[in-house]
């Protein structure tokens, strides 16, 4: 490990607007071309990524860990690898496996090792990547994860998105009857992303573009992280009344979800073992994602 000057991270590099929603703090290179150390600060409380209860202990939400890793990777792509801020990051898959007993809220942050296993370029431009993460608190490894993504410039992105791209496109959140917050594992109704669907066991995604954490910047499509949270909520509802907290998640994205499309429908099915669920999302008959979660 080399001693180097640590570089501070800004919300913009992490694709955030507010500092309180930006969890990576600084980074430095490690030995090896594409390995980095990131220091993250996890808040003792947060309006959306609030601590969860595991037994009698307050623990950091596993999806806070996912969001921290996502932000860290984007910041390193921009700051260490020179990815222009106007390049679009097309997330294909993200996974996390964590030890909830190591996520107690103690005021301590985390040290993250980020390794770009595959970083492909064409004509000097980044085209795709695979990244691996190891999260430590002190000497203890508390989570590992990985993701893959492709990159597209403005012109290629316009071709990919067809007629759906509108700069700064947003629309008001729907006035719907949301599911009860305790059923979805949330404390606040405004954080619930599920509304009763047309069939038993099926939910409709609540797309509330006024949510201060989930929609900080203009989007021309429904963000993928919305579906990861919706999948967690659907699994919590399927496990009700048993308390349920994910320790491992893997989500694969198939296509964009459009603001001007039909409702996004979410369904959770039991997995092969107890405490495991597979959640899928569809819009206009096409599959948007598949998410596997286990406790």
Could you give the dihedral angle defined by the CA atoms of residues 218, 171, 257 and 240, in that order, rounded to the nearest 10 degrees?
110
Sign of CA dihedral 65, 79, 212, 92: negative
Res 6: pLDDT: 66
Residue 230 sits at φ, ψ, to 5 deg, of -65, -40
Distance, in Å, from the CA atom of 113 to the CA atom of 151, rounded to the nearest integer, reads 22
pLDDT score, position 122: 86
The domain ranges of the chain are: 7-160, 166-294
Distance CA 63, CA 86 (A): 26
How confident is the model at residue 267, as a pLDDT? Answer: 97
Based on the number of CB atoms within 10 Å of its own CB, is 129 exposed (0-12), middle (13-18) or buried (19 or more)?
buried
Q: Is the Cα dihedral 133, 255, 122, 159 positive or negative?
A: negative
- Residues 7-160, CATH architecture: Roll (3.10)
| pLDDT of the residue at 168 | 47
Question: Residues 72, 78, 83, 86: is their CA dihedral positive or negative?
Answer: positive
Q: Do domains 7-160 and 166-294 have the same CATH topology?
A: yes
So what's the pLDDT on residue 106? 92
pLDDT tens-digit series, residues 148-188: 999 988 888 888 887 676 544 455 555 678 999 999 999 99
To 5 degrees, how large is the angle CA 22–CA 146–CA 256? 75
Measure the CA–CA gap between 88 and 152, rounded to whole angstroms.
Answer: 5
> Distance between CA atoms of 63 and 248, rounded to whole angstroms?
10
Confidence (pLDDT) at 176: 76
| Digitized pLDDT (tens) for each residue of the chain, 295 residues in all | 344 556 778 889 998 988 899 999 999 999 867 999 999 999 999 999 999 988 888 999 999 999 999 999 999 999 998 899 888 899 999 999 999 999 999 988 999 999 998 888 888 888 999 999 999 999 999 999 999 999 988 888 888 887 676 544 455 555 678 999 999 999 999 999 999 988 888 999 999 888 989 988 778 889 999 999 999 999 999 999 998 999 999 999 999 998 888 999 999 999 999 899 999 999 999 999 999 999 9
Distance CA 204, CA 227 (A): 11
To 10 degrees, the CA torsion angle through 102, 103, 105, 107? 80
Return the pLDDT at 5.
52
CB 290 within 8 A of CB 251: yes
Nearest CA to 178 out of 202, 197, 191, 194 is that of 194
Q: How far apart are alpha carbons 90 and 42 in whole angstroms?
A: 26
Q: Within the chain, where are the H helices?
A: 62-79, 154-161, 224-239
pTM for this prediction: 0.91
pLDDT for residue 85: 87
Question: How far apart (Å, rounded) are the C-alpha atoms in residues 289 and 224?
Answer: 9
Percentage above 70 pLDDT, the chain:
93
Question: What is the third-level CATH fold of 166-294?
Answer: Thiol Ester Dehydrase; Chain A (3.10.129)
Query: In b/e form, how buried is each residue of 202-237, taking b as 16+ CB within 10 angstroms?
Result: ebbbbbbbebebbbeeeebbbbbbbbbbbbbbbbbb
Q: 280: how many CB neighbours lie within 10 A of its CB?
A: 18
């Amino acid at each position: 490990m080399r001693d180097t000057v640590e570089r501070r991270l800004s919300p913009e590099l992490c694709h955030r607007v507010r500092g309180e929603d930006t969890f990576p703090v600084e980074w430095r290179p490690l030995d090896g071309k594409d390995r980095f150390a990131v220091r993250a600060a996890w808040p003792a409380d947060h309006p959306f990524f609030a601590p969860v209860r595991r037994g009698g202990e307050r623990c950091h939400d596993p999806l806070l860990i996912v969001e921290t890793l996502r932000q860290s990777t984007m910041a390193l792509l921009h700051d260490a690898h020179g990815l222009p801020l106007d390049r679009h990051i097309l997330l294909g898959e993200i996974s996390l496996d964590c030890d909830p007993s190591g996520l107690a809220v103690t005021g301590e942050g985390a040290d993250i090792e980020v390794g770009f296993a595959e970083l492909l370029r064409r004509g000097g431009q980044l085209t795709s990547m695979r990244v691996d993460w190891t999260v430590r608190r002190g000497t203890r490894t508390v989570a590992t994860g990985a993701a893959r993504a492709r990159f597209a410039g403005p012109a290629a992105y316009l071709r990919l998105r067809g007629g759906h791209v509108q700069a700064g496109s947003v629309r008001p959140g729907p006035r719907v009857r949301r599911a009860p917050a305790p059923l979805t594992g949330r404390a606040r109704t405004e954080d619930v992303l599920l509304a009763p669907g047309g069939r038993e066991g099926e939910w409709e995604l609540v797309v509330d573009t006024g949510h201060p954490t989930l929609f900080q910047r203009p989007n021309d499509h429904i963000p993928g992280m919305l579906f990861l949270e919706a999948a967690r909520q659907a699994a919590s509802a399927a496990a009700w009344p048993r308390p349920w907290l994910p320790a491992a998640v893997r989500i694969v994205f198939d296509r964009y979800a459009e603001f001007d499309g039909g409702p996004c429908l979410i369904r959770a099915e039991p997995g092969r073992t107890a405490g495991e669920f597979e959640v899928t999302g569809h819009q206009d008959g096409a599959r948007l994602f598949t998410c596997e979660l286990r406790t």
